[in-house]
Structure 1
């Protein structure tokens, strides 16, 4: 009888000791699991940074284009420091164009029209943009652009939306190429190009 009582007391003491030991070990391994046995911890989202393209990061750039048999060299630059290309500033963009023919028998190459369509981008997408720039030659054939001659122009982008992050300029160059050196007939060729410039916050 007394032995049975001693055994009961010993069992109760052991149960109490286990309870104290478990309560002092911190969070149990099964804490934080939902009913399905999986962890309920929420993963931390990582922020992604999208770099902004700036074709004029060094102040100028050269693009090589083709228009039929004509090879075009276009040099772009800005007299405004890239650090000053802010949304509210007037932003000049200058470019010069010259052409060379693959099969050159002495034909003339002329630029009849150039147009630039600006597109403004912000953190959430497209923003309102300035109107299209156009230079239409008043000469019958256009401006002579065959090397050593070239066409040069500067357009000024006005203020844009204060949240703008970049401006992309889409250029279209329309050429007239003389079919023979003495001909009064011309072939029309078109070349397109794009230039993206970052806007300083």
Structure 2
């Protein structure tokens, strides 16, 4: 953290809009990943797709340090790590249409009913995310908590800024680019069902004035 944070880290403070091409040092497309655990899957995806930049956000310091170490060890210059609230990052530090993708893998399911309002995938979050995703960009969610998966599918299907990439309107098979994580493997061993959702940001024509 001491060695690599000044070079590859970002403290989310809402102070200014981030110039992503300057931050990464190139004009490659940028995917935002919210919540990356210890970062193994993030590093694998960055290594497999060096032409895409990954801005990975989490608040877990050991995970941040581990991902920075993986990036350094494997020479992955297309990873940047952000510490803080992803909502503030989206709302105050990213420009409209600046993201080419958004990944939310295994977010906290908040299983108790009274905590459901804390779940990330809600209409308000989707409306904010849609303003930062360019038309055609894909929001990719994955969860092993089936009630949350059903809620995600319902909320995303109802949102006017997103359309399901699956013709049947259901869950997607796990795409090859999303690695199977250690925790996911443990869940599968216990009989958990993992659901992926891939929804595309749609471009809606603004109505003409007076139309």
TM-score past 0.5 threshold: no
Question: If the length of structure 2 is used for normalisation, what is the TM-score?
Answer: 0.23
Q: Which has the higher strand share?
A: 1
Question: If the length of structure 1 is used for normalisation, what is the TM-score?
Answer: 0.23
Bigger CA radius of gyration: 1
Q: Which has the higher helix share?
A: 2
